[in-house]
Structure 1
């Protein structure tokens, strides 16, 4: 007898969780490995992604509901019992503390309270929710209206996002990355908050722009579109494979002004002293603002915040020398913790009178429904400091 579709999804969930929880693999990599092996349908993949994310966002809660039986099968059963909202499951759920209901490990609860105080419970609850699905229209190739129409023809519904000019929220299921608009480079998947960060650096066509911590390149591609693919956009990172992936994405997007460069040593930065009209520093951080998208991160070792803060300040101090006088710098994180955000900027400005702060913004998951980000917009006003 063949298994039911639900049985197939449960098998996929079990296989993924085994890799994540027992072999310490990252969720995205585990899903890719399992999907490659089992070849599930698009619908089964979508269901599996949703269930794995929901389970891992509140892992400790479902573990508490299993009692003494901590097996994967018991964990998955506890999760589906809660999803089905049985009376017994609801009664057991209400006995859990609020932090556990929100899927918050003890170390994160202590850190969140220390960083945000009375604002932490609302942010914690927001980070326990499923993240909406946002895309950024690539205006090098299509308008927002053209993209919406093309997606609708592919059976994918979307709606504009208030306050984010380039964003659409996907409101239906569908094979987004198998659609013709994606293959043609009309959009990239990018959270609306991330799009706000990229838009905060007022690049212009013909500018000299450096994205010095480019990573996967979401913000690099947004900058290229804002520059109308005119001028020089140098995307830099310490990992070549990320730059290789970025180049492929740039080719699909028609972003012809992107040049990638590996940061192989401190000399790579020194050679670019005074060269940038605009500089984006999307620095390594705790990722506290994007935990709902990366829920497995909560169940690994606690964040080494002190080490990250030292790295952030080091990048600010050294990489900012790439700025030309009168140039503008955007410091950004995907964190909601002040010690990685405004406090880092205050520390930087105290030692660098050649920079002034123009504006900054904390993007709150609880307030906006977007992922959590921070940016500070600065200008270099002199060469000496």
Structure 2
């Protein structure tokens, strides 16, 4: 993780970010934005702070147990929590002016007790442990353990502007070390702590930061030049841009979402990537979908989900109301699948995807859909395992419309 302790100022910054996430309910990326705004920190120190904060959230209940600090006490007892984190990783304690004591004897006792509780050791809250055991059974422990690891950094070569090999060479010249990702033809793993977004390669639109698993989902669309393709839950457009590259800028790619600000962000990214065949459209009502009935060769439904496959990257979701929101999300997924599938023409392909590894959001949804929609047939589906791939966890299913 680190080979030296955090500085006092960085330690205090981690405590403040954690408190904003846990006490105020702010998303982690928003908390970073608030706290880093205006600070003149070196990229290496920003990386250290985000690494520690991410690790704290991936195993929050473990560190809280070791320090005897509750999550809602972090603003008051945060230094004690940070001392436990440093002790766990074998680092000297940060020299904080108002550091709260943590007895080494008490810490060792609690550490031995924690080692006997697998879910606690993996930073897994009880609601997630119950769900994982119920839905994944014997496969859950390896997934749970994999979700405690820090996420790797992957980028996608923008083949509208360069090849993967050309990108790797250009980044080397910019002091960014990468390696090829086997099985994902557009992916490079970044293996150095580089300021990626300051590179000339990024400014010129040669790559986008995108998990390798997410790139596999986009490749499942298998879009061809000249096709009419719809990304119906496009968000800020990571997969949309990947599909545009598949199409070599030829044909029509419609990116849709219910939030205009996300589509505006996509427009900016598309200009940098030279993805000229992307058209954005706000989903203002059900009429927006009805007008596109039976019109698309390919439709991607990357539906809203629990995000339980991307907890390495978004660990704050463990400590939110995810369990309470899941039934609502499952109903929304069902609605989107039934309604938006109308846009696929006969002979066209529908790709349903989530960033979850839970069958309730994945194969269970597809099986239920096919019972009621016999004009579709399942071609193939796959779950990208966090443990087996080293990527984020995703699910994707490819369905063909065989009749109106």
> How many equivalent residue pairs?
380
Structure 2: gaps (5+ residues): 93-103
Runs of 4+ in 1 over 4 A off after TM superposition: 85-91
Q: Name the SS for the 2:44 alignment partner.
A: helix
- State the alpha-carbon separation in 1 of the partners of residues 6 and 384 from structure 2: 39
Please give the per-residue CA displacement for 1:185-223, whole angstroms capped at 9, x wherever unaligned.
000011111111110111100100000000121110000
Partner in structure 1 of residue 352 of structure 2:
331
Once residues 376 and 248 of structure 1 are traced to their aligned partners in structure 2, the CA distance between those partners, rounded to angstroms, is: 30
| Corresponding position: 1:369 with 2:369 | no
Q: Please name the residue that 1:80 is paired with.
A: 86
Contact residue 177 and residue 183 of structure 1 kept, 8 A: yes
Query: Residues 90, 120 of structure 1: CA spacing in aligned structure 2 closer, same or farther, 3 A cutoff?
Result: farther
* Residue matched to 2:63: 62
Query: RMSD of the TM alignment (CA)?
Result: 1.6
Q: Pick from 349, 352, 362: which aligns with 2:373?
A: 352
For 1:38, what is the secondary structure of its paired residue? coil
| 2:141 is aligned with 1:135 | no
**1:21-77, CA deviations, whole angstroms, 9 ceiling, x for partnerless residues?**
221111101001111043322111111111100111000000001125841111111
Q: How does 1:97-108 map to 2 (within 5 A)?
A: 97-108=117-128
**Contact 1:5-1:44 at 8 Å conserved across structures:** no
Cα deviation code 1:249-285 (max 9, x no counterpart): 1111010000110001111101111111100000011
**Structure 1 residue aligned with 2:320:** 300
| Distance 1:154-1:68 versus aligned 2 partners, 3 A rule | closer
Question: Is 1:116 aligned to 2:136, yes or no?
Answer: yes
Partner SS state of residue 164, structure 1: coil
Question: C-alpha distance in 1, partners of 2:69/2:367?
Answer: 49
Q: Which moved more, 1:300-309 or 1:140-149?
A: 300-309
SS in 1 for 2:255: strand
Query: Which has the larger displacement, 59-68 or 245-254?
Result: 59-68
- Structure 1 equivalent of residue 37 of structure 2: 36
Q: Is 1:10 equivalent to 2:5 in the alignment?
A: no
**Structure 1 stretches of 5 or more lacking a match?**
none
* 1:252 corresponds to: 272
Aligned residue number for residue 113 of structure 2? 95
Indicate conservation of the 8 Å contact 2:306/2:322, yes or no. no
Please give the secondary structure, in 2, of the residue aligned with 1:136: strand
Quick one: distance in 2 between partners of 1:52 and 1:356?
44
Which residue does 2:234 correspond to in 1? 214
Which shifted more, 221-230 or 294-303? 294-303
How do 1:314-325 and structure 2 match up within 5 A?
Answer: 314-325=335-346
**Greater CA deviation, 251-260 or 9-18?**
9-18
Q: Residue 191 of structure 1 aligns with which residue?
A: 211
How far 1:91 moved relative to its partner? 6.0
CA contact (8 A) 2:253 2:279 kept: yes
Rounded Cα–Cα distance in structure 2 between residues aligned with 1:306 and 1:8: 42
Q: 2:292 maps to which residue? A: 272
Please say if residues 65 and 110 of structure 2, whose CA atoms lie closer than 8 Å, have aligned partners that are also in contact: no
Work out the CA distance in 2 between the residues paired with 1:5 and 1:251.
39
Task: Give distance in 1, aligned partners of 2:90 and 2:260.
Answer: 45
- TM-score under structure 2 normalisation? 0.91
The two structures have a TM-score, normalised by structure 1, of 0.96
Judged with a 3 Å threshold, the aligned counterparts in structure 2 of structure 1 residues 5 and 83 are, in CA distance, closer, same or farther, namely closer
The alignment status of 1:172 with 2:178, answered yes or no, reads no
Q: Is the 8 A contact 2:69 2:81 kept in 1?
A: no
